[in-house]
Amino acid sequence: GWEMTLLILSIAPVLAVTGMIETAAMTGFANKDKQELKHAGKIATEAVENIRTIVSLTREKAFEQMYEEMLQTQHRNTSKKAQIIGSCYAFSHAFIYFAYAAGFRFGAYLIQAGRMTPEGMFIVFTAIAYGAMAIGETFVLAPEYSKAKSGAVHLFALLEKKPNIDSRSQEGKKPDTCEGNLEFREVSFFYPCRPDVFILRGLSLSIERGKTVAFVGSSGCGKSTSVQLLQRFYDPVQGQVLFDGVDAKELNVQWLRSQIAIVSQEPVLFNCSIAENIAYGDNSRVVPLDEIKEAANAANIHSFIESLPESLES
C-alpha cells in the first residue's frame, strides 16, 4: 500500500496539528477551570463549616454573593472558551473528515485499478491516519508527562519522609509504671514554620504527681504549646521535658501518649457510638464494657448516657 501511505503521509502533518490543537484546547482550559472552581469551592466549604458564625453575624447573603461572583467569572470564561473550543473542534474535525474523504476516494480508485485489496486499503488507512493523530496528541501531552514526573518526585519524597517524631516507632523506653511527675527544664521552643518567634524561653517548672496546676496567661502566650510538648507533638529546641525524670525523647511515643488523657479546647466526637468514642482513648486493646462504664462514671456523664434511648450504643 505504498501509494495510499504516501497520500496519507502528505496530509499527516495536518492531522497531527489538528490532534495537537484539540488536545491543547481541552487540557489547557481544564487546568484553568480547576483553579477557578477551587476558589469557589473554598468559599462554599468555609461557609458550610462555619455556618453558625455566619448565621450569628447574618452574613449568609454576603457569602452567597461571594460564591456567586466566583462562579460568574467561571461562567464568563466558559462562555468565551466555548467559542474557541468549538471552533478548534470544528476545524480539526472538518479536516479529519476531509482527509478521510480524500483517503477513501483514492483507496476506491486503487481498488478499482486492482492495485490494492479492500482489506489492505483499510489497514493502511487506519494505521497511518490514526498513528499521525496520536503523534500530534503525544506532542501536546509530552510537557504534561514531565510535569507529572516532577510532581511524582515531590509525592514520593513526601511518602518517604521520616517524621522527626514517629508515632509508629517501636523504639524507646516503655516503663512499667508511670508515676506522673512532670518537669519542664529550661525549655525553649519555636514552631518549625516560624523559627524567628520564640514561643517559650527557658520555661522551668516541675509538677509533682497528684498536683493540680493551671497555666494562666494571655491568648497566644504558649499554654497549648506547652501541652503539645508534653504530648510530644514537637521536641523542645533547647531544654528537656521529663516524665518521672526521663527525657520524653527517650520514651516510646505510643507509650507516652497512652499515659495522657486530654480534653482539648475543641473536643471532638467521632461519628460512632458513645462507647466507641470513650474506648478510642486506649486503642492498644479492646476495652471491656465495664471499663467504659467506669470511665463514663468518672467523667460524670454516666447518668446522662443512661437517659439516652440506646445508652452507650447511641
Ligand X SMILES: Nc1ncnc2c1ncn2[C@@H]1O[C@H](COP(=O)(O)OP(=O)(O)OP(=O)(O)O)[C@@H](O)[C@H]1O
Return residues touching Mg ion (CB under 5 A).
223-224
- Exactly one of 157, 193, 216, 261 binds ligand X (CB under 6 A); that residue is 193
- Exactly one of 98, 130, 191, 304 binds ligand X (CB under 6 A); that residue is 191
Contact criterion met (CB below 8 Å) for 106 and 7: yes
**Using CB distances below 5 to 8 A depending on partner kind, what does residue 267 bind out of ligand X, Mg ion, none?**
none
Q: Which is nearer to Mg ion, 163 or 217 (CB)?
A: 217
Q: Which is nearer to ligand X, 115 or 223 (CB)?
A: 223
Q: Is 195 in the site for ligand X (CB under 6 A)?
A: no
**Using CB distances below 5 to 8 A depending on partner kind, what does residue 114 bind out of Mg ion, ligand X, none?**
none
Minimum Å gap between C-beta 220 and Mg ion is: 8
| Three cell numbers, residue 158 | 513526601
Minimum Å gap between C-beta 248 and Mg ion is: 20
Q: Which of residues 266-305 bind ligand X (CB under 6 A)?
A: none
- Exactly one of 222, 239, 241, 248 binds ligand X (CB under 6 A); that residue is 222
Q: Is 216 in the site for ligand X (CB under 6 A)?
A: no
Q: Is 162 in the site for ligand X (CB under 6 A)?
A: no
Q: Which stretch binds ligand X (CB under 6 A): 188-196, 205-213, 236-244, 267-275?
A: 188-196
Q: Which of residues 196-215 bind ligand X (CB under 6 A)?
A: 199
Minimum Å gap between C-beta 214 and Mg ion is: 13
Q: Which is nearer to ligand X, 50 or 138 (CB)?
A: 50
Which residues does residue 173 pair with via DSSP β-bridges, in sequence order?
251
**Residue ranges binding ligand X (CB under 6 A):** 191, 193-194, 199, 217, 219-225
